[in-house]
Amino acid sequence: MAKAQMKKRKIVRINEDLCNGCGVCVAPCAEGAIQLVGGKAKVVREELCDGAGFCLGVCPTGALTIEERDAPEFDPKAAEEEQAKRGKTLLGETCFRCGATEENVVLIPCRHAGKSQWVCVHCLPPLIHG
């Protein structure tokens, strides 16, 4: 495997002191960049992290942020291969208002009342407009 080119770019940062090892951030990372290692979340292959930050909204402790630093370039081909290996992964999360799952509706991560939660697109408009 050729060594990935280093580049200054956006990538997920995990604050180990804040991470409680709940593992909720693993499934939202479609590319499989985050795994639990020794009870803590880790970006196990930096070239799989595209810095999109889908994991950020689910972390209950605020351990995940996006930073800009030197890292191997994102490798879309490797991410695609990893996704194919993992197959379809469902979050196991539900809309905090109606209980819908991602199997039948689009879920969006959000922060509400001091908690990281998921809301479905049907319940989002009433939250926005009251």
Residues that bind ligand SF4 (CB under 6 A): 14, 19-25, 41, 58-59, 61, 63-64
> Residue 62 CB, nearest distance to ligand SF4 (Å)?
8
Closest CA to 31 of 52, 56, 60, 59: 52
> Residue 15 CB, nearest distance to ligand SF4 (Å)?
8
Residue (8 or 86) nearer to ligand SF4, CB: 86
Residue (17 or 103) nearer to ligand SF4, CB: 17
Residue (41 or 123) nearer to ligand SF4, CB: 41
Cβ 30 vs Cβ 83: under 8 Å: yes
What is residue 101's DSSP assignment? B
Neighbours of 13 (CB within 10 A): 14
How far is Cα of residue 62 from the mean position of the Cα atoms in its chain? Answer: 12
> Residue 2 CB, nearest distance to ligand SF4 (Å)?
30
Cβ 63 vs Cβ 18: under 8 Å: yes
Residue (114 or 130) nearer to ligand SF4, CB: 114
> Residue 85 CB, nearest distance to ligand SF4 (Å)?
21
d(CA 30, CA 35): 12
> Residue 39 CB, nearest distance to ligand SF4 (Å)?
9
Residue (4 or 53) nearer to ligand SF4, CB: 53
Is residue 79 within a helix (H) or strand (E), and if so which, with residue range? helix 76-86
